[in-house]
Structure 1
Amino acid sequence: MSAAAIVGTGFMGRVHAEALARIGVDVRGVVGSSPERAAAAGLGPVYANLAEMLDDDSVDVVHVCSPNHLHHAQVVAAMRAGKHVVCEKPLAMTPAQAQELCDLATERGLVNAVCFLSRFYPLCQTAAARVDDGSVGTVRMVSGHYLQDWLADAADWNWRVDPALGGQLRVVGDIGSHWLDLVSHVSGQRVESVLADLTTVYPNRDGVAVTTEDMAGVLLRFDGGARGVLTLSQVSPGRKNRLSFEVSGSAASLGWNSETPDQLWIGHRDEPNQALVRGDGDYPPGHAQGYPDAFKALFRAVYDAVDETAPCNAGYPTFDDGREQVLVGEAIAASARLGGWSPVRR
């Protein structure tokens, strides 16, 4: 199996390292903001800098887990060095940057992926299959939310609050992109236009001015005719990390949330509703399969493509999907700024 290296040694770097170890991928080394911090993370051997990592011919795949503003330059450097790339979202800070990365990946013929991991919960894949096989009929409505509470107090701070580091959109870019990618994957429809309301609850956090949003409400129109409603928040006490969606079709409905990932609700009009319990996956039913396992499944699909044991783009989110969410984010920002519906400009 191909070998990896990781850029970034914070939370996401640790998540990637653990998932790679669990599927048997050797991590040859890591790069941090400094060699000292990288060594302290204990994720593997430490490279002095990104250039040293990219000069290592034993590294086949680079995992970019650094702060958002660094993604574009680091991905470009990795691909120009001939490395396949797995990038945390957002893929880039602007549509132009995202397009450049898509073009470069195509030009170099490199495997590329963005970590929209929610697709790889087994019952999210089941939901997508049920929509695809016609079990739910015509998808009419998609609704849901992604709620967190880690920024619920005025004193809470993280680099993602700073638009220079995290981007102009925070709650939309950080967690909304996961929801939007997932529901597009499940419904088989792309977002066509949006009407958005963005709210900054704390315009000042611990003495620092804040311009990024804490909450968002978004109406959605999909290209297959469905309508959608999305609520996002990082200031909802008690909600640690709840992603929830419901797809309403002409024949049935499907509902899922990340806090009970092993159950899929199936709604009917003229017969009893159902709770489908996961029956396959890495663990037997009754043994919870969650967040770390979704990363493992995503990376397994990517490395199968790298090792040419499966086709590229076989179900995992690529740079094209990363670009898609950058474009949807741009439309949401434009809608909030202008106060009306805004199309997704592809």
Structure 2
Amino acid sequence: MPEIAEVEHARRQCHKHCLSRKITSVETVPDELIFVNNTSDQFASILEGRTVVDTKRWGKYFILLFDQEPHLVAHFGMTGDIKFKHEKSKEEWPPRFWKTIITFGKAAGHQEGDEETIVMAFCDARRLGRLRLVFGDPLTSLPISKLGFDPLHNLPSIDDFFTMVIKRAVPVKALLLDQAFSAGVGNWIADEILYHSRLHPAQYSNSLTKKECETLREQMEEVCRIAVESEADESLLPANWLMTYRWNKGKGKGAGVLPNGHKLDFITVGGRTSAYAPSLQKLRGANPSKKTSSRKRSLKTEENEDDDTKDLKKTRKPRKTANDPTSTTGSSKIVKSTGNSIKVKRRSSTRLRGSSNS
């Protein structure tokens, strides 16, 4: 699942390429899951004519602010991404699994060498991403308003952070994944934070000392900041991070051994596979097991971080047919908005790796 680093990278790309540009046309593939509270036709019609004036991010959501409401709030789900036509070859466009393709006109203050138009696609193979049009301030409106603090925007003071942590009785890994606690932290970043904090993923939050909470808080900010500064490029991450060595449960680079000589192990905590170094991250008060589950609770982890992903269990992977817009063969129904009319036509259709189970 795209986490804070990947989403911030997407926001920066949008800011770089789309700022001060007016939307001239919008193509969409009908999808009742991706488009929230509007049909794909309505989405296309509403967006046409708006100009991007700013971009924002909170947790795993990124926002395009327009010169008039509503604004676009996007979430990648498990496999979502954005792609730009000028960065792809002709053979790669349109990209597979695209849900909307938005064309932006010439930017205000256009300079020589700037792209005349920018074409951006939102893609999602598993259809767990979401595109919303939100009135008012998106940061104080649903769904963002119900999220917890963002580690890079409003990290709580140590006293407040300590109180927030110890009042919960859950494994600390599950707490970090709870988007109502901290927005933007996902599976691999949570493991990275706990590794550098020297905390076992299954250690219960209400057993942490204030010193441990202080370290945890510091590492949340530092790990998220470094991950974001890497622009979601794994090769730019520090050599002493778990990220490069965790793949295939330690059977990849390093064969499960970190540069400092400590071995990796993997357990299930909060429903997610967790990578950790047992010799450095020791569990106090209980013997660790390969599967560690907490009591039944209403925790919203990254798999169930908002109302969007309640569709997860009941959404099946769509079958590809001749008319399936996500198929690479056949034709698909495309809704295109130009001006005030909506046309329907037929047409053919080494960033950070997801860590949903690694």
Q: Which has the higher helix share?
A: 1
Normalized against structure 2, the TM-score is what? 0.25
Highest Rg: 1 or 2? Answer: 2
Normalized against structure 1, the TM-score is what? 0.25
